[in-house]
Amino acid sequence: MPLDISLTTLLTQVFTGLVLGMIFVLLAVGLSLIFGLLTVVNFAHGSFFMLGAYFGFFVLGFTKNFWLALLVAPLLVGIFGLLVERFLVRPLYGRSIDDPLLLTFGLSLVLVEAARLIWGKIGLTFDSPPALVGAVNLGFTHFPAYRLFVIALTALVLLALWLFLERSDLGLIIRAGARDPLMVRALGIDLGGIWLLVFGLGSALAGLAGILAAPMYGVYAEMGVSMIIQSFVVVVVGGMGSLTGAVVAGLLIGEVVGLTTLFAPQLAEIVVYLFMAVVLLVRPSGLFGEAGLFE
């Protein structure tokens, strides 16, 4: 294990971990939104992440405009999420939590195989926009401009989501529906439409994470498999259904993976699960979770 790491290398790796953490945050926030209101463990979320990358690749190839692809790909994934909620997940409401989990797990397998049939088994290269090629001088190092863009855009998306949930009437209904759906129904509010919106929003966040990750990691059918497992770890560490927990845990785990890759690369694959085990030993409900959530 290297012990003579320079401060410049260490700070560069901290920023690298922050980029990975931002991708985790987008995925985990989408998962937490869906679970917090619908109590659905969406195992297809990783496939929505993969679809965001593929849809972005398709739109980019058709329009030659990265910024248009960045806008359209999450919308397409969000629309697909609306269809999944309406026709596949909704009939399972009120049943065991295992039923939608098994359904979305099966759906994820179908989507991976469909991606292989449509786009092939060989990974695709996704170029970052010309405006973000190169590196930015941060004073202590030069860091890729595109990765700084990922950090900034994710921060803006999280701010917009917070404002939407905290300051808008619809956000108030979503938060109330997560806490007391019977009372919301008693007020004459159609929760079915709210569930549909939240599932679509969570899916769109996964699609956004996918297209943002594509220039860094490439595009391939299995790209969502490892990400969804690690994203569930983020959600569990942060606390099931907690958006604050999803953000904090996503950033923490991104840094843990980034720094472990620097100091002990052979442990990078398992450190996420060790971190989760330690947190759950101290706080079984996660950092910001509520005890008895599944009861």
Q: What is the mean pLDDT of each run of 10 residues along the chain (295 residues)?
A: 70 93 96 88 96 97 95 98 96 89 95 95 92 90 94 97 93 82 79 91 97 96 92 93 92 94 88 93 88 47
Q: How far apart are CA 20 and CA 110, in angstroms?
A: 27
Q: What pLDDT is recorded for position 291?
A: 55
Q: What pLDDT is recorded for position 81?
A: 97
How many domains is the chain built from?
1
Q: Name the pTM for this structure.
A: 0.94
Residues 178, 183, 185, 191, Cα dihedral to 10°: -10
Q: Is 231 part of a structural domain of the chain?
A: no
Q: Strand pairing partners for 219?
A: 124
DSSP code of residue 93: T
Q: What pLDDT is recorded for position 1?
A: 45
Q: Strand pairing partners for 144?
A: 135
Q: Is 23 part of a structural domain of the chain?
A: yes
Q: What pLDDT is recorded for position 292?
A: 44
SS3 content of the chain, % helix, strand, coil (to 5): 75, 5, 20
Angle at 187 between CA 160 and CA 98, to 5 degrees: 70
Q: Is 213 part of a structural domain of the chain?
A: yes
Q: Is 25 part of a structural domain of the chain?
A: yes
Q: Is 52 part of a structural domain of the chain?
A: yes
Residue 54 lies in domain: 7-221
Q: How far apart are CA 226 and CA 161, in angstroms?
A: 26
Q: Is 232 part of a structural domain of the chain?
A: no
Q: What pLDDT is recorded for position 97?
A: 85
Q: Is 274 part of a structural domain of the chain?
A: no
Q: What pLDDT is recorded for position 294?
A: 44
Q: What pLDDT is recorded for position 76?
A: 98
Q: How far apart are CA 109 and CA 93, in angstroms?
A: 22
Q: What pLDDT is recorded for position 64?
A: 93
Q: Is 160 part of a structural domain of the chain?
A: yes
Q: What pLDDT is recorded for position 4?
A: 58
